[in-house]
């Protein structure tokens, strides 16, 4: 920042100017002309001028909302005024008499009211004094933004790890049961029937499918370690939702059978294919059906239905005859780690529904809950139809 020499005078009221320049070769001639003209004015008038290089102190340009340089700003007397453009000297010639008149009026006002406080030349110098403060404020703001971003990433990674730990239980259990069943067939007890080749093939297929699902989840964890919630890995493809529902129901059938629960399905045969990530949608179905089985009492009913709601969306609903969700908690049920008071003693981390919401939203769909007057809960979500 350069301060022009000036004549001594009554500093209680004098014209105060800021000249913003740059180092561009194309503007150097114009800048020199402005300097020359201002020095001529100093032979006749008293004013204070400071020159600021926006290349060295760009935060000043942002502070004064400059759109072009060179630019001349009158900061006193108020109101502030900015002159810029290729005809800056012509503008200055036009405004200079009016600026001098404003200064005269300020001095007359001060003489009539001596107690009136009038800004002194220190108001320009205060801008120079505050330059370092402004720069530090910008740096502090940037550091805070970076800190917030890092904390968000760390928080998301913790969430993903917890979510995957939760979701790995079901496929691991399925693989374990399949392997144990195959192992007993290798060393059968007396009187125990041998597994048929067809059943062995089904068990091996089931184990392989779940192993691939586990591998996909681990790959998702590795990717999530490098990103944020907005970067949830989605690889959509043409998908038969009806078949996927039946596969997941078969996977969880033992748990439903243990509680003698009735599982009803109403999925049209002509249901269009959806455009979604198969493993991510599988995670949603497993989470919602796992909850339905957990909270539906013995001899209760679970109903899975689908409908072609619009030309672009398919809606899937999973309803149970469990205790339902209190109305005051329905808006929070998809929050991360949120759990109802009644469920504190049950297994779970309060993360499954949060994951479901993130997956559905990543597909540009919606997920919500309602509780019928007759009791129980109904979770609904929509996914896009595969374009034809």
Task: Mark whether 225 and 321 lie in a shared domain.
Answer: no
Task: Mark whether 297 and 164 lie in a shared domain.
Answer: no
Residue 134: inside a domain: no
The set of residues, in sequence order, having a beta carbon less than 8 Å from that of 262 and lying 6+ positions away, is 299, 300, 301, 302
Tell the burial category of 263 from Cβ atoms under 10 Å away from its Cβ (0-12, 13-18, 19+). Answer: middle
Q: What is the DSSP string of 208-225?
A: HHHHHHHHHHHHHHHHHT
Task: Mark whether 68 and 217 lie in a shared domain.
Answer: no
Residue 211: inside a domain: yes
- The torsion of the CA quartet 263, 269, 275, 276, rounded to 10 degrees, works out to 20
> Which of 199, 233, 267 delimits the end of a domain?
233
Task: Mark whether 270 and 223 lie in a shared domain.
Answer: no
> Which of 75, 102, 129 delimits the end of a domain?
129
pLDDT of residue 208: 83
Domain of residue 222, CATH code? 1.10.287
Interatomic CA distance for residues 112 and 120, integer angstroms: 18
pLDDT of residue 384: 93
> Which of 65, 97, 129 delimits the end of a domain?
129
Residue 141: inside a domain: no
The boundaries of the domain holding residue 349 are 235-388
- The torsion of the CA quartet 340, 346, 350, 355, rounded to 10 degrees, works out to -120
| Packing angle of the helix pair 278-295, 197-224 (nearest 10 deg) | 110
* Number of helices followed by number of strands (H, E) in the chain: 11, 12
Task: Mark whether 61 and 107 lie in a shared domain.
Answer: yes
Residuewise pLDDT in 10s, the chain (388 residues): 444 444 333 444 578 898 999 888 888 999 999 999 999 998 889 888 888 888 877 777 777 788 888 999 998 888 889 999 889 999 999 999 999 998 888 877 766 665 544 444 445 455 555 555 556 666 777 788 888 878 877 776 776 676 666 667 778 888 888 888 888 888 777 777 788 888 888 888 888 878 877 776 666 555 555 544 445 678 899 999 999 999 999 988 888 998 999 999 999 988 999 999 998 999 899 989 988 998 899 999 999 999 987 778 999 999 999 888 888 777 788 876 565 655 654 544 456 788 888 889 999 999 999 988 888 999 999 999 988 7
Task: Mark whether 165 and 302 lie in a shared domain.
Answer: no
How many domains, in total, are found in the chain?
3
Interatomic CA distance for residues 247 and 282, integer angstroms: 9
pLDDT of residue 120: 43
Task: Mark whether 246 and 317 lie in a shared domain.
Answer: yes
Task: Mark whether 387 and 239 lie in a shared domain.
Answer: yes
Residue 223: inside a domain: yes
Domain of residue 360, CATH code? 3.30.565.10
pLDDT of residue 312: 87
First to last CA, the chain: 65
């Amino acid at each position: 920042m350069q301060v022009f020499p000036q004549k001594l005078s009554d500093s209680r009221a004098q014209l105060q100017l800021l000249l913003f320049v740059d180092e561009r070769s194309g503007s150097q001639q114009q800048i020199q002309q402005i300097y020359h003209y201002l020095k001529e004015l100093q032979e006749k008038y008293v004013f204070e001028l400071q020159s600021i290089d926006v290349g060295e102190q760009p935060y000043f340009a942002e502070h004064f909302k400059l759109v072009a340089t060179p630019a001349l700003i009158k900061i006193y007397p108020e109101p502030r005024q900015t002159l810029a453009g290729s005809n800056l000297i012509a503008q200055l010639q036009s405004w200079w008499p009016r600026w001098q008149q404003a200064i005269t009026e300020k001095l007359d006002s001060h003489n009539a009211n001596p107690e009136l406080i009038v800004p002194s030349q220190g108001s320009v110098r205060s801008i120079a004094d505050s330059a370092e403060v402004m720069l530090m404020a910008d740096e502090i703001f940037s550091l805070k933004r970076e800190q917030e971003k890092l904390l968000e990433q760390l928080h998301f990674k913790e969430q993903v790890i917890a979510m995957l730990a939760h979701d790995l239980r079901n496929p691991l259990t399925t693989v374990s049961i399949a392997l144990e069943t195959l192992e007993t067939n290798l060393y059968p007890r007396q009187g125990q029937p041998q597994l048929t080749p067809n059943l062995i093939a089904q068990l091996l297929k089931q184990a392989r499918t779940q192993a691939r699902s586990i591998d996909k989840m681990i790959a998702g964890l590795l990717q999530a370690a490098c990103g944020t919630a907005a970067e949830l890995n989605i690889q959509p493809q043409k998908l038969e939702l009806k078949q996927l529902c039946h596969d997941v129901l078969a996977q969880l059938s033992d748990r439903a059978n243990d509680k003698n629960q009735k599982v009803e399905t109403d999925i049209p045969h002509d249901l269009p294919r959806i455009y979604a990530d198969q493993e991510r949608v599988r995670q949603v179905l497993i989470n919602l059906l796992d909850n339905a089985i957990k909270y539906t009492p013995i001899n209760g009913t679970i109903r899975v239905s689908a409908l072609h709601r619009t030309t672009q969306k398919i809606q899937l609903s999973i309803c149970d005859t469990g205790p339902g969700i209190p109305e005051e908690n329905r808006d929070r049920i998809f929050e991360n780690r949120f759990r109802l008071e009644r469920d504190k003693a049950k297994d779970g981390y309060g993360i499954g529904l949060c994951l479901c919401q993130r997956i559905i939203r990543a597909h540009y769909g919606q997920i919500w809950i309602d509780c019928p007057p007759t009791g129980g809960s109904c979770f609904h979500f929509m996914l896009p139809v595969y374009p034809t």
